[in-house]
Chain A
């Protein structure tokens, strides 16, 4: 798995993921994601179009992100999930819990 963090707009951060998010890679995602929920951040976006597979470890990491976003009143969006990844969210009854958009442009001003 490869990760990159970009400031897409002032105080709007995007974490782009390439590769499978599983038990071996989710700690790295957690390490990149959690620090973004800090004072001044307005929006955190996780770009998932490069993710062919996610397991419960990856889902748990994103739920932690969601909890941090709620605690800090920072918007949190998942963008570009492939159908195979969306299906895992659906299976976990989480599709309506996260803000999910087809493309990153759909959640930027």
Chain B
């Protein structure tokens, strides 16, 4: 039976150790499957959340293993919201741009994957430091797949 809503946010507080990311992927996969998203969208959301965490580990925390990332999932009848909070180095969100996909270069794909998976993506730099990334995916919306 489709899960309509969860009354309150779900919070996951993980270390910035890439070895912990499989747990994030597992949780996002199970959650979005229970919300009855098609499997291709589930896979894209799993990838997007994973890439967001990877970017934080690499860029905000300089690959340090001992910092924290706080993930919050909010399930509502019409949308699922993924909030990812770090307390690392702030960067100007206007500079967060995916690379030109015509160039075959390693790196720079993560932002493209995030924007491809989600309906809305917003970066904020809270006054107490770090970055808050909010990603929204609408439910029950018929989407046209990319060619």
Find out whether the CB atom of B18 lies under 8 angstroms from the CB atom of A22. yes
* Interfacial chain A residues near B1, Cβ < 8 Å: none
Q: Does A56 contact B (CB under 8 A)?
A: yes
Q: A45-70 CB contact bits vs B (8 Å, 1 = yes)?
A: 00000000101110111011011000
Find out whether the CB atom of A64 lies under 8 angstroms from the CB atom of B106. yes
Q: Does B107 contact A (CB under 8 A)?
A: yes
Checking B21, B107, B109 against A23 with a beta-carbon cut-off of 8 angstroms, the contacting residue is: B21
Checking B21, B43, B54 against A87 with a beta-carbon cut-off of 8 angstroms, the contacting residue is: B43
* Interfacial chain B residues near A108, Cβ < 8 Å: none
A-B contact number at CB 8 A: 64
Find out whether the CB atom of B54 lies under 8 angstroms from the CB atom of A23. yes
* Interfacial chain A residues near B22, Cβ < 8 Å: 20, 22
Complexed CA–CA distance, A64 and B106 (Å): 6
Max count, chain B CB within 10 A of own CB: residue among A55, A63, A88 = A55
Shortest CB distance A62–B (Å): 9
Provide the main secondary structure of the chain B interface. helix
* Interfacial chain B residues near A91, Cβ < 8 Å: 44, 47, 112-113, 116, 146
Complexed CA–CA distance, A88 and B17 (Å): 23
Q: B33-62 CB contact bits vs A (8 Å, 1 = yes)?
A: 000000010011011001100100110000
Q: Does A6 contact B (CB under 8 A)?
A: no
Binds B, one of A10-18, A35-43, A73-81, A92-100: A92-100
Question: Given A22-B18, A24-B21, A87-B40, is A55 in contact with B106 using a C-beta cutoff of 8 Å?
Answer: no
29 CB < 8 A contacts A-B: A20-B25, A22-B18, A22-B54, A24-B17, A24-B18, A24-B21, A53-B25, A53-B46, A55-B47, A55-B50, A55-B51, A55-B54, A56-B107, A56-B113, A57-B54, A59-B109, A60-B106, A61-B106, A64-B106, A66-B104, A67-B106, A90-B146, A91-B112, A91-B113, A91-B116, A91-B146, A92-B109, A94-B104, A97-B104
Q: Which 5 A-B pairs have the closest CB atoms?
A: A60-B106, A24-B18, A23-B18, A56-B109, A63-B106
